[in-house]
């Protein structure tokens, strides 16, 4: 399981990130100041660090200078949204820069992108009664291979990465089809219905009234 350290002094935000990353299948830990983060990084191994800039004791910029020689990717998550702040963060070596407030689905997408860039994605995902090999894109249900189209496979991963989160139809369309949503829900609905029928998740991927769909898993 991939390990992510969240360095964020606002505990409500840290707890929300922790919950979302845990639901998405990551091992997540939170610390609330830069000095504790430096000590934790020295003692443990992490695949990714989500780092606030304005931190007690040691700020995010200083901490980044300590992290970069270790080769751990870093995403800045901060309220400092000016162009100069973003440029400074990226020039110092951050791999991405996300400003508050942000949508959880965007955070998860950026986390996945950075981990993929460093070849740190999980090769085998096990969720409920499914086994997913992300290298071969093979999906099995209780050992039996399920034939999914490319879009259906990408939909399945999108729901798994955002389990228990209601996804708007426009968000689903833009993530899977890569273009702006034009208000026609038939494409999304058809693909979701076909995919959940193939994997036998009709009772798990449920419609959310006036929103879209949600994968409900404990």
- Assign 133 to helix, strand or coil: strand
The CATH number of whichever domain residue 189 belongs to comes to: 1.10.10.10
Q: Model-level pTM?
A: 0.69
Same-domain pairing of 105 and 39: yes
Q: How far apart are CA 141 and CA 161, in angstroms?
A: 18
Same-domain pairing of 86 and 172: no
The CATH number of whichever domain residue 7 belongs to comes to: 3.40.50.2300
Q: What is the 3-state secondary structure (H, E, C) of 92-104?
A: HCCCEEEECCCCH
Domain assignment present for 135: no
Tell me the two tokens of residue 171: 């968000």
The total of structural domains in the chain comes to 2
Domain end residue (candidates: 94, 117, 140): 117
Least Cα distance to 114 among 132, 90, 80, 133 occurs for: 90
Domain assignment present for 138: no
Residue 181 has pLDDT above 80, yes or no: no
Domain assignment present for 191: yes
Same-domain pairing of 178 and 96: no
Per-residue confidence (pLDDT) for residue 83, from 0 to 100: 82
- List the domain range (segments joined by +) for residue 100: 3-117
Share of the chain above pLDDT 70, in %: 99
Q: Give CA torsion, residues 218, 100, 8, 110, to 10 deg.
A: 60
Same-domain pairing of 86 and 155: no
Same-domain pairing of 113 and 166: no
Residue 1 has pLDDT above 90, yes or no: no
Q: How far apart are CA 99 and CA 130, in angstroms?
A: 35
Distances (CA, A) of 218 to 22, 23, 52, 204, 215: 12, 9, 30, 10, 10
Task: Tell me the per-residue pLDDT of 121-139, one tens digit each, with 9 for 90 and over.
Answer: 767 888 889 999 887 889 9
Half-sphere CA count of 37, side-chain side, radius 13 A: 31
Place 110 in a pLDDT band, splitting at 50, 70 and 90. Answer: very high
Domain assignment present for 139: no
Same-domain pairing of 26 and 113: yes
Tokens 């504790």 belong to residue: 36
Same-domain pairing of 8 and 113: yes
Mean pLDDT of 40-63: 93
Mean pLDDT of 154-171: 90
């Amino acid at each position: 399981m991939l390990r992510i350290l969240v360095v964020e002094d606002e505990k409500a935000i840290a707890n929300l990130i922790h919950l979302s990353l845990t639901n998405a299948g990551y091992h997540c830990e939170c610390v609330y100041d830069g000095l504790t983060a430096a000590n934790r990084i020295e003692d443990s191994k992490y695949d990714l660090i989500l780092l606030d800039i304005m931190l007690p004791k040691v700020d995010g910029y200083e901490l980044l200078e300590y992290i970069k020689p270790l080769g751990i990717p870093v995403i800045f998550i901060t309220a400092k949204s000016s162009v100069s702040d973003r440029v400074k963060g990226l020039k110092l070596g951050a791999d991405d820069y996300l400003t508050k407030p942000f949508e959880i689905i965007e955070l998860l997408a950026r986390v996945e992108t950075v981990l993929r860039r460093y070849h740190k994605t999980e090769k085998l995902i096990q969720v409920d009664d499914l086994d997913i090999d992300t290298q071969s894109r093979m999906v099995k249900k209780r050992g039996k291979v399920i034939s999914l189209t490319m879009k259906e496979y990408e939909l399945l991963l999108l729901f798994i990465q955002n389990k228990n989160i209601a996804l708007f139809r426009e968000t689903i369309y833009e993530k899977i089809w890569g273009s702006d949503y034009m208000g026609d829900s038939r494409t999304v609905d058809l693909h979701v219905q076909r995919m959940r029928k193939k994997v036998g998740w009709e009772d798990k991927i449920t419609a959310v009234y006036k929103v879209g769909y949600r994968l409900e898993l404990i």
